[in-house]
Amino acid sequence: MSVLLRAARRIENICFDVIFPRQCALCDDEGSLLCTGCKRDLTVWPEGLCAWCSSVDNGSNICDECAPQWGIQGLWIGYRYDDEKVASLVHSLKFQYQESLGDDMGLLLSQQIARLPSEIESIIPIPLDRKRKKERGFNQAYCIAKAMTIRCGVAVNERLLFRTISRAPQATLDAVSREKNIQGVYQVRASDNMPRCVLLIDDVTTTGSTLREAASILREAGVSHIYALVFAHGTPPENINKTS
Ligand SMILES: [Zn+2]
Ligand SMILES: [Zn+2]
């Protein structure tokens, strides 16, 4: 992006903020999309707690026994999805089309995660269904990926993994149906510079089937080390509308 275009965007954002002051997505306080108090109230996923069997491990949020089943070497989770505030934040991002909120959430997550492996060569956001991306205007996983790039200096690669098939939103299905629904939807674009180690990024994981499918396709294409990072994990609270 040119310097002039960047400056124009900045002026546009300032003008927009003057006309429509930013409000916290959770408490409506003016000033930012996510205020300091609400950030502090979000329930953090405990460090070292395995997402799938709840054993306590050092380092990442997947233990040595569960990691091979998911085909990933390490997993880091920011927050608990069963916390209504966390679920509400993800909901605002996805269904109120607040892309800037995604940038703030990505920044928050990047500050929350203490350490990532230094061998990561590419950051891969989980691709969104083309139709859904058109409706929403952005991929929420990409917002988080951008923030991680700033944090660790590794570039986002949006081209390597892509989605070819449109299916029902995962959140509307039970665990068994999710597994079938996600199979075969991703492909890897052939590249002479296939990374050996990647970090997959998603906004939410519940059963882990999306991460597992993406990891399996990447592994088949020659990626040997796959790590994953998600904003939130867990079962959503009852009152959250499951439409995507
Ligand atoms: Zn707030
Ligand atoms: Zn485990």
Report pLDDT digits (tens) over 163-221. 886 766 666 666 666 766 677 789 999 888 899 999 999 999 988 899 999 999 999 99
Q: Which comes out higher in pLDDT, residue 120 or 100? A: 120
Note whether residue 238 is domain-resident: no
> Could you give phi then psi for residue 203, rounded to 5 degrees?
-80, -45
Q: Which comes out higher in pLDDT, residue 157 or 6? A: 157
Residues with CB under 5 A from ligand 2 (ion): 50, 52-53, 55, 63, 66
- Cα separation, 180 vs 29, whole angstroms: 42
Residue bearing tokens 């920011």: 78
Distance between Cα 67 and ligand 2 center (Å): 7
Number of domain units in the chain? 2
The neighbouring-strand residues paired with 204 are 232
- Cα separation, 25 vs 216, whole angstroms: 35
**Domain residue limits at 201:** 44-233
Query: 240 pLDDT exceeds 80?
Result: no
- Determine the pLDDT at residue 87: 95
User: Which of helix, strand or coil describes residue 20?
Assistant: coil
How many C-alpha atoms does 20 have within 13 Å on its Cβ side? 5
Note whether residue 241 is domain-resident: no
Looking at the structure, do residues 105 and 25 belong to the same domain, yes or no?
no
- Determine the pLDDT at residue 99: 83
Note whether residue 239 is domain-resident: no
- Determine the pLDDT at residue 95: 80
Question: Looking at the CA of 60, which ligand is closest?
Answer: 2
Distance between Cα 54 and ligand 2 center (Å): 6
CATH code: domain of residue 97: 3.40.50
Average confidence (pLDDT) over 87-99: 85
Looking at the structure, do residues 61 and 146 belong to the same domain, yes or no?
yes
Looking at the structure, do residues 97 and 165 belong to the same domain, yes or no?
yes
Looking at the structure, do residues 129 and 176 belong to the same domain, yes or no?
yes
- Longest Cα pair distance anywhere in the chain, in angstroms? 53
Question: Looking at the CA of 92, which ligand is closest?
Answer: 1
Looking at the structure, do residues 148 and 33 belong to the same domain, yes or no?
no
